[in-house]
Amino acid sequence: MTHQVHAFEPPERFVAGTVGPPGERTFFLQARGGGRLVSVALEKVQVSLLAEKLEELLTEAQRRFGVQLPEAVASVGDNDPLDTPVDEEFRVGTLGLAFDVDTATVVIEAIAAGEAEAEVELGGDEDDDDDEDDDEEPDEDLDRLRVRLTPEATREFIERARRVVNAGRPPCPLCGQPLDPAGHLCPRHNGYHR
């Protein structure tokens, strides 16, 4: 089976966004450029971790390579909805990040979830002898989205991703679980509606 690499180096637009009401949202990474539009689905926690790790990557690039970083984005920036149609190319299993020193750009790679990945996650890192074969082979057969961003575009992506993650249901002040519009059964209130 052939795999596809959707490369946008650089994209016209690269954003994190959602489809659906709070509590039922599906999260997407969407890249547009060269007349193409690619949307890949992922989990909320993946979007949150991606923003966090991108921030760490930029800080490390500045420290190690002297890359000039833009100031934190204060304005709203790109707050438009996802481009339509939002057709899921694949569900993301693995996210990879790198900093290309030669071009001073951030490379983000979203790799499709596969059967081999589930086996590796369940097995853990106990078998060091087999890790080399398992890491190299499965990724080659999986679809991927590869995006190359400038540090400025990366900062804009980080800010939007954080806004998207925080735009969901507010947390319960007692237990921290998301509050539905109709309330929820709070474990801190012994199951009474809050």
As beta bridge partners, residue 193 has: 185
- Interval 80-95: pLDDT, tens: 999 999 999 999 999 9
| Type and span of the H or E element at 133 | helix 128-140
- Interval 139-173: pLDDT, tens: 578 999 999 999 999 999 999 999 999 988 888 88
**Low-confidence residues of the chain, pLDDT below 70?**
1, 73-76, 115-139, 191-194
Q: Where does residue 45 fall: left (phi above 0), alpha (psi -120 to 50 degrees), or beta otherwise?
A: alpha
Q: How far apart are CA 110 and CA 118, in angstroms?
A: 16
Q: Tell me the CB-side half-sphere exposure of residue 4, using CA atoms within 13 A.
A: 8
- The pTM of this model reads 0.79
